[in-house]
Chain A
Amino acid sequence: MTKAMLAMLSVILVAGCGGSGWTGYSPLYPPLTIFAASSLQPAFDKIGQKAISQRITTPTFNYAGTQTLTAQLLQGGPGDVFAAADTAHMTTVDSAGLLSGPSRIFAHNKLEIAVGSGNPKGIHTLADLSRSGLVVVLADPSVPAGKYAQQALSQAHVTVHPASLELQVTGVLSKVALGEADAGIVYVSDIVTSGKVDGVTIPDSQNVVADYPIAVLKAASNAAAASAFIDLVISPDGQAILKAAGFQGV
């Protein structure tokens, strides 16, 4: 190995150990790692930009299914803020002693039926999903969106035979967007931000309201900045972004 290669290797190793070295810039404001449910991505990317412009923090987002984030946190995943798509997983993280304070609900989401654009199969109600010959895709019951979908279907007294139980709500959305599935049950916010599928409204009597809680994690490197980020999410600015992305405010 030549000296140049060795030098390069040591630089890579040092940079790797430096934590933020990989991002290639030195953050001006305290960096935060935010574990956020994948359905929050469109809204939180914008809130993140706002956080930088308001000089609150330079956030790094870890988006995944809430159940994946919970498993990561329980195995010691390093994060400052946790934003979940349901209160059950937040409770799990709380009972493991990983929160530094109580969680706060910052948004609500509802379910909608995702169908191909123009609704070629003429789906208008949850009951239509039980029609034979229809390819319906749901999220797995281990995923919050899948659990909510089950609740909505049982409230509507409808039994569907899904072709697949996707491991993320985005999996449901992409199967409908690609035309492989005729319909799926997703969040209203997914349909608002996707733009590739049409939504069929589910009446309130059958619908489920998903509560999104957010909390500072005990492992937070900068608890003040973490709280400031949560304040931004709950502020009128943050709420406006969430509403534009299809969520309901608090």
Chain B
Amino acid sequence: MSRPRVPAALIALAGLGLLFFLLPLAGLVLRAPWDQAVAGVTAPETATALELSLFCSLAATAIALVLGIPLALVLSRTAGRLRNLLRALTTLPMVLPPVVGGVALLLAFGRRGLVGSLLYQAFGIQIPFTTAAAVMAETFVAMPFLVIAVEAGLRSLDPRYEEAARALGARGWMVFARVTLPLLRPAIFSGAVLCWARALGEFGATITFAGNFPGRTQTVPVAVYVALETHPDSAIVLSLILLAVSVAILVGMRDRWLGAL
């Protein structure tokens, strides 16, 4: 089967789009102080920020999987106005400026927040300025990406598999675990990757809700922002490290998980 030809004008626009992505990246790579890269990688502050970033983004993705897949399932099985409302609520963090998301989290989970005040008065627990706050900020901003991807996967699912399973006597939970979930694997995978990537790059909600303290809430994007104004060179090195780590993990996961698809 020969592939349909793409019109030349569209190819030109696609090239322009690609260039728009590539030029800033090229700027980063070309301007990077490579002689300092080794020192940048081995600096203890870099390792601390990177470790925290990986932990927080993976924790956020795990929470998003546990809460987001059921949410997507409910969304896909709801109809009409209720669905539109639920979907609008779920995707709200995608359009909300992350800094506003951070303020919203403070107003809900802060010491004087709706839920946070109860936690603080009953147990003396304060969420802001803790690693938990960084994880929550990342989950808030990144989970919609997973929900949207999984919901799209659920909509394109052939309902006959689930019907057949039910006809053979499988109950609700079993159908979900043995039929729906395995069929959804590609959608869950791509949703989780999007969610993780968004969580890894999260800045605005984190700095607002969790603050900035090395080893506790200073993730790589925050460390890059701090460094940008004092040591721009190490900021570039740190950004490239983040880029390299995410590319490596994506490639690694692809071999491991996508090979079976």
Tell me how many residues of A have a C-beta within 8 Å of chain B: 20
Closest residue of chain A to B107, judged by CB?
A: A178
Is A179's CB under 8 angstroms from B129's CB?
no
Stretch of A14-22, A76-84, A135-143, A152-160 lying at the B interface: A135-143
Residues of B within 8 Å of A179, CB to CB, are: 110-112
Tell me which of A65, A68, A140, A178 contacts B110 (CB under 8 A). Answer: A178
Contacting A163 at CB < 8 Å: which of B112, B213, B226, B228?
B213
Closest to A179 in B: B112
Are the C-beta atoms of A166 and B211 separated by less than 8 Å?
A: yes
CB neighbours (8 Å) of A164 from chain B are: 129, 210-213, 217
Our pick among B110, B207, B213, B226 for the contact of A180 (Cβ within 8 Å) is B110
What is the bound-complex CA distance between A71 and B226, given in angstroms?
Answer: 12
Asked if A167 is an interface residue, CB under 8 A from chain B, the answer is yes
What separation, in Å, do the CA atoms of A67 and B225 have in the docked complex?
11
Chain A min CB distance to B4 (Å): 22
**Alpha-carbon separation in the docked complex, A135 to B111 (Å):** 11
- Decide yes or no: A142 and B211 within 8 Å by CB, A178-B112, A179-B110, A180-B111 being known contacts: no
Residues of chain B within 8 A of A70, CB atoms compared: 229
* A175 sits at the interface (CB 8 A): yes
CB of B49 within 8 Å of the partner chain? no
Q: Is B190 an interface residue (CB 8 A)?
A: no
A166 touches B129 (CB 8 A): no
Question: CB distance A175 to B229 under 8 Å?
Answer: no
- B129 & A180 in contact (Cβ 8 Å cutoff): yes
B140-178 residues with Cβ-Cβ distance < 8 A to A are none
B229 interface neighbour in A142, A162, A178, Cβ under 8 Å: A142
| Interface residue total, chain B, C-beta cutoff 8 A | 20
Judged by a CB distance under 8 angstroms, whether B186 is at the interface is no
In the complex, which residues 1-36 of chain B have their Cβ closer than 8 Å to any Cβ of chain A? none
Q: Does A223 reach chain B (CB closer than 8 Å)?
A: no
Q: Is the Cβ of B213 less than 8 Å from the Cβ of A142?
A: no
Which residue in A135, A137, A142, A162 is a CB contact (below 8 Å) of B226?
Answer: A142
**Is there a chain A Cβ closer than 8 Å to B98's Cβ?**
no
**B126 on interface, CB distance cutoff 8 Å:** yes
Residue-wise interface mask of B (193-223) relative to A, using a CB-CB cutoff of 8 A (1 in contact, 0 not): 0000000000000010011110001000000
- Chain B residues with CB under 8 Å of A67's CB are 229-230
Q: Which residue of A lies closest to B230 (CB)?
A: A142
The answer to whether the Cβ of A165 comes within 8 Å of any Cβ in the partner chain is: yes
Is the pair A167, B225 in contact by a Cβ cutoff of 8 Å?
yes
- B213 lies within 8 A of A162 (CB): yes
Considering the chains assembled together, what is the distance between the CA atoms of A180 and B106 in angstroms?
Answer: 8
Taking Cβ atoms with an 8 Å cutoff, the residues of A that contact B are 65, 67-68, 70-71, 135, 137, 140, 142, 162-167, 171, 175, 178-180
For the complex of A and B, list the 7 residue pairs with the smallest distance between their C-beta atoms, beginning with the closest.
Answer: A164-B211, A163-B129, A67-B229, A179-B112, A142-B230, A180-B128, A165-B212
For this complex, 27 residue pairs linking A to B, each with C-beta atoms less than 8 Å apart, are A67-B230, A70-B229, A71-B229, A71-B232, A135-B126, A135-B129, A137-B129, A142-B226, A142-B229, A142-B230, A163-B129, A163-B213, A164-B210, A164-B211, A164-B213, A164-B217, A165-B213, A167-B207, A175-B211, A179-B112, A180-B106, A180-B110, A180-B111, A180-B112, A180-B126, A180-B128, A180-B129
Apart from A140-B226, A175-B128, A178-B112, 18 more pairs, CB < 8 Å:
A67-B230, A68-B229, A71-B232, A162-B213, A163-B213, A164-B129, A164-B210, A164-B212, A164-B213, A165-B212, A166-B211, A171-B207, A178-B110, A179-B110, A180-B106, A180-B110, A180-B112, A180-B129
By a beta-carbon cutoff of 8 Å, the part of chain B in contact with chain A is 106-107, 110-112, 126, 128-129, 207, 210-213, 217, 225-226, 228-230, 232
